[in-house]
């Protein structure tokens, strides 16, 4: 027994020795390895990576080892960059070496399959698809994204004001419906898209499917791998959905009733050319379907993260909200801001940019991979290394962003900050911002992000006072977390409670008018031609397998808390009755927002009417998580 153990220990040491020798041998003359935590044999540092908020650990290491360091996980070298300059030096200036993508263990054909442009290797397919994506985006940007973000924002504001407790639902409906219209000219697929996209996010995230961390698990056959079989089912549904969406748009182009969107632009262009094909080098509808599908995926869940972070920020920074409201009220003279007001609203643009900096939506970045060995400032970076621009670390650079943990929109508006830039009619904006990546792989969706965030955040500032909720019993503020975020590749705040109080009766009525007019426009469109999505909803199943568990857990906790709140109120009322004192006094459980609405009997009638409207729009949506939200289940 003892000799077997000795043999094993000897073997491990021999392996470590051989490994070290091979690494040293690979070093070019004069180059040294990057600093970083020492690797354990075979596993590297996998045991050190926390499941939640892993970016904080990678950032902590950057404070020990410097703005570029390396670590190993199961034999793969991972390089972490926390400096914008170094990220630009490598990923942008040496793009020929640094523009590949690594293989994702749980989606092993990601580099070659041609289905997800953002995950493709640096291949001819990627170049062709990126060109098409960029052209379709450009065509829609020239036409102000066909007004879809405004229409959806108008629908979103009223739903949020009416039911702030379900804010995640309303926000994700806003982002997914907007991008669904942009992609296929209809909002119908939005709810199924949300589920399949969440499933894909789990499939590809290091904190999602286990094989992404323990890569040996990728060799399991499908029948023995729950991750593979789950992904297989998800992919099959997504593929069928995308085909149906393209077919719907194709019929619209043919009968002349189709709405504008990416796929419509592509189909029209192909129709104009002899023998089909497009001027962008994509010959088949099939490939265009994948490109547009990826654009829809990319816009479904990402933009919701900064919208939620804005609400979180306003709970902690009420003075910023007041300042923002002052600008919006002054410039727009009381009306809700529109996209055409952007030059005159620098504070609003600064809040948008600061939200993205303060809580990066993709905190670990999307990894690149090296195609050749390289040496940077004397440090060796091997071919096949996975390169991470750590967005969280980049936004914590104290020289560039003094007081990085604070939410300070004025850093974009005041010349005393290094990030200030003129003219303020144009800056700040999101174009070229580090949070959208580097070099040839930069994000292609910035025009959508910019317009969605401007309209949603501007609309909320115009319409609502966002504030911490008060305990109905004690009247004390209910605490709101500071940086508790979900752990997948796209991170969003875990659920928290807050109040969204309409600023006055006129704005509430105005929101209702905007909502009605968005609903009427949608009805008009659906009367002309309707897309039937019911089969996909059915196939998704009642249990909705691709469901955001992290948020579910939070909501269950929240529901339990509310239930407790109600019980306490009832108890207090019962006690008051016993002692004969008048009423419960203090705060109502529904918070100041509803107090405002309930202030007259007229408002009560209005509220009932609102419910009717919501039922109405559900049938217009035909969505799984309809206008009443998942909380109903």
Residues at the site binding ligand HEM, with contacts judged by CB under 6 A: 117-118, 130, 133, 294-295, 298-299, 302-303, 306, 361-362, 365-366, 368, 435-438, 441-445, 448-449
Q: Give the Cα separation of 299 and 301 in Å (integer).
A: 6
Judged by beta carbon, residue 133 or residue 246, the one nearer ligand HEM is 133
Cβ atoms of 77 and 385 closer than 8 Å:
yes
Judged by beta carbon, residue 380 or residue 438, the one nearer ligand HEM is 438
Judged by beta carbon, residue 120 or residue 400, the one nearer ligand HEM is 120
> Which one, of 501, 515, 565, lies nearest residue 336 by Cα?
515
Judged by beta carbon, residue 122 or residue 544, the one nearer ligand HEM is 122
DSSP annotation of 91 reads: I
**In which element (H, E) is residue 197 found?**
helix 190-204
Query: What does 447-507 look like in DSSP terms, one character per residue?
Result: HHHHHHHHHHHHHHHHHEEEE--B-TTT-PBPP--SS-B--SSS--BPP---EEEES-HHH
Judged by beta carbon, residue 180 or residue 278, the one nearer ligand HEM is 180
Is 443 among the annotated ligand-binding positions? yes
Measured from the CB of residue 437, what is the shortest distance to ligand HEM in angstroms? Answer: 2
Measured from the CB of residue 55, what is the shortest distance to ligand HEM in angstroms? Answer: 13
Cβ atoms of 240 and 536 closer than 8 Å:
yes
Q: Can you tell me which residue has the tokens 């470590």?
A: 16
Judged by beta carbon, residue 296 or residue 531, the one nearer ligand HEM is 296
Measured from the CB of residue 461, what is the shortest distance to ligand HEM in angstroms? Answer: 19
Measured from the CB of residue 146, what is the shortest distance to ligand HEM in angstroms? Answer: 14
Measured from the CB of residue 438, what is the shortest distance to ligand HEM in angstroms? Answer: 5
Query: What does 320-362 look like in DSSP terms, one character per residue?
Result: HHHHHHHHHHHHHTTSPP-GGGGGG-HHHHHHHHHHHHHS-SS
Measured from the CB of residue 102, what is the shortest distance to ligand HEM in angstroms? Answer: 11
Q: Is 233 helix (H, G, I), strand (E, B) or coil?
A: helix
Measured from the CB of residue 610, what is the shortest distance to ligand HEM in angstroms? Answer: 31
Judged by beta carbon, residue 142 or residue 612, the one nearer ligand HEM is 142
Judged by beta carbon, residue 117 or residue 213, the one nearer ligand HEM is 117
Strands 368-369 and 32-33: unpaired
Query: Is residue 295 exposed (0-12), middle (13-18) or buried (19+ Cβ within 10 Å)?
Result: buried
Measured from the CB of residue 87, what is the shortest distance to ligand HEM in angstroms? Answer: 8
Please give the torsion angle defined by the CA atoms of residues 319, 320, 322 and 323, in that order, rounded to the nearest 10 degrees: 120
Judged by beta carbon, residue 306 or residue 627, the one nearer ligand HEM is 306
Q: Can you tell me which residue has the tokens 């920020």?
A: 313
Residue 259 has φ and ψ, to the nearest 5°, of -85, 155
Between the CA of residue 337 and those of 231, 304, 341, 453, what are the distances in Å? 42, 19, 6, 12
CA 410, 415, 421, 423 torsion: positive or negative? Answer: positive
Measured from the CB of residue 424, what is the shortest distance to ligand HEM in angstroms? Answer: 23
Measured from the CB of residue 170, what is the shortest distance to ligand HEM in angstroms? Answer: 17
Cβ atoms of 157 and 514 closer than 8 Å:
yes
Judged by beta carbon, residue 548 or residue 626, the one nearer ligand HEM is 548
> Which one, of 538, 532, 461, lies nearest residue 502 by Cα?
461
* b/e per residue 452-463 (b: at least 16 CB within 10 A): bbbbbbbbbbbb
Between the CA of residue 55 and those of 101, 370, 482, 496, what are the distances in Å? 19, 21, 16, 21
The residues that bridge with 369 in the sheet, in sequence order, are 100, 386
Take residue 259 and report the two structure tokens written for it.
């709405």
Measured from the CB of residue 191, what is the shortest distance to ligand HEM in angstroms? Answer: 18
> Which one, of 127, 449, 116, lies nearest residue 289 by Cα?
116
Judged by beta carbon, residue 176 or residue 270, the one nearer ligand HEM is 176
**HSE toward the beta carbon, residue 128, CA cutoff 13 A:** 15
Q: Is 45 helix (H, G, I), strand (E, B) or coil?
A: coil
Q: Can you tell me which residue has the tokens 């036409």?
A: 143
Question: Which residues participate in the annotated binding site for heme?
Answer: 443
């Amino acid at each position: 027994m003892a000799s077997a153990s000795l043999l094993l220990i000897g073997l491990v040491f021999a392996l470590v020795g051989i490994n070290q020798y091979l690494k040293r041998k690979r070093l070019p003359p004069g180059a040294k390895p990057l600093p970083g935590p020492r690797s354990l044999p075979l596993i590297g540092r996998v045991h050190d990576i926390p499941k939640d908020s892993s970016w904080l650990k990678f950032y902590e290491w950057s404070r020990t080892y410097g703005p570029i360091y390396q670590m190993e996980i199961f034999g793969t070298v991972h390089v972490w960059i926390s400096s914008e300059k170094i990220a630009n030096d490598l990923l942008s200036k040496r793009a020929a070496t640094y523009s590949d993508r690594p293989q994702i263990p749980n989606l092993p054909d990601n580099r070659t399959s041609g289905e997800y442009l953002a995950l493709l290797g640096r291949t001819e397919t990627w170049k062709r698809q990126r060109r098409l994506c960029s052209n379709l985006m450009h065509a829609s940007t020239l036409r102000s994204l066909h007004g879809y973000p405004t229409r959806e924002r108008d629908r979103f504001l009223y739903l949020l004001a009416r039911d702030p407790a379900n804010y995640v639902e309303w926000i994700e409906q806003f982002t997914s419906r907007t991008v669904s219209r942009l992609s296929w000219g209809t909002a119908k697929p939005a709810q199924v898209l949300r589920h399949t996209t969440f499933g894909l996010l789990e499939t590809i995230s290091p904190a999602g499917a286990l094989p992404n961390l323990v890569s040996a698990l990728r060799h399991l056959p499908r029948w023995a791998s729950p991750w593979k079989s789950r992904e297989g089912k998800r992919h099959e549904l997504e593929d069928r959905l995308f085909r149906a969406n393209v077919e719907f748009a194709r019929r619209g182009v043919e009968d002349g009733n189709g709405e504008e969107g990416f796929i419509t632009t592509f189909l029209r262009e192909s129709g104009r050319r002899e023998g089909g094909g497009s001027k962008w080098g994509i010959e088949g509808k099939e490939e265009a379907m994948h490109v547009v599908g990826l654009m829809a995926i990319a816009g479904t869940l990402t933009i919701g993260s900064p919208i939620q972070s804005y609400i979180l920020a306003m709970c902690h920074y009420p003075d910023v909200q007041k300042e923002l409201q002052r600008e919006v009220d002054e410039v727009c003279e009381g009306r809700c801001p529109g996209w055409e007001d952007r030059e005159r609203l620098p504070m609003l643009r600064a809040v948008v940019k600061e939200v993205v900096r303060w809580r990066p939506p993709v905190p670990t970045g999307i990894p690149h991979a090296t195609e050749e060995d390289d040496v940077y400032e004397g440090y060796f970076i091997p071919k096949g290394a996975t390169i991470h621009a750590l967005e969280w670390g980049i936004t914590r650079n104290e020289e560039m962003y003094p007081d990085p943990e604070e939410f300070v929109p004025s850093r974009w508006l005041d010349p005393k900050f290094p990030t200030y830039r003129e003219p303020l009619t144009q800056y700040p904006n999101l174009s070229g911002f580090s949070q959208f990546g580097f070099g040839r792989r930069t994000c292609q969706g910035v025009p959508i992000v910019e317009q969605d965030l401007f309209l949603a955040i501007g609309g909320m500032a115009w319409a609502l006072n966002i504030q911490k909720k008060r305990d109905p019993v004690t009247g004390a503020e209910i605490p709101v977390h500071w940086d508790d975020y979900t752990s997948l590749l796209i991170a969003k705040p875990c659920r928290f409670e807050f109040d969204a109080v309409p600023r006055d009766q006129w704005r509430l009525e105005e929101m209702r008018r905007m909502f009605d007019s968005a609903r009427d426009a949608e009805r008009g469109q659906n009367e002309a031609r309707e897309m039937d999505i019911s089969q996909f909803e059915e196939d998704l199943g009642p249990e909705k397998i691709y469901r955001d568990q992290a948020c579910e857990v939070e909501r269950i906790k929240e529901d339990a808390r509310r239930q407790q709140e109600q019980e306490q109120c009832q108890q207090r009322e019962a006690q008051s009755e016993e002692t004969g004192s008048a009423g419960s006094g203090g705060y109502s459980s529904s918070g100041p927002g509803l107090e405002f609405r309930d202030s007259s009997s007229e408002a009560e009638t209005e509220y009932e009417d609102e419910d009717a409207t919501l039922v109405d729009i559900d049938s217009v949506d035909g969505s799984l998580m309809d206008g009443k939200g998942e909380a109903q289940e």
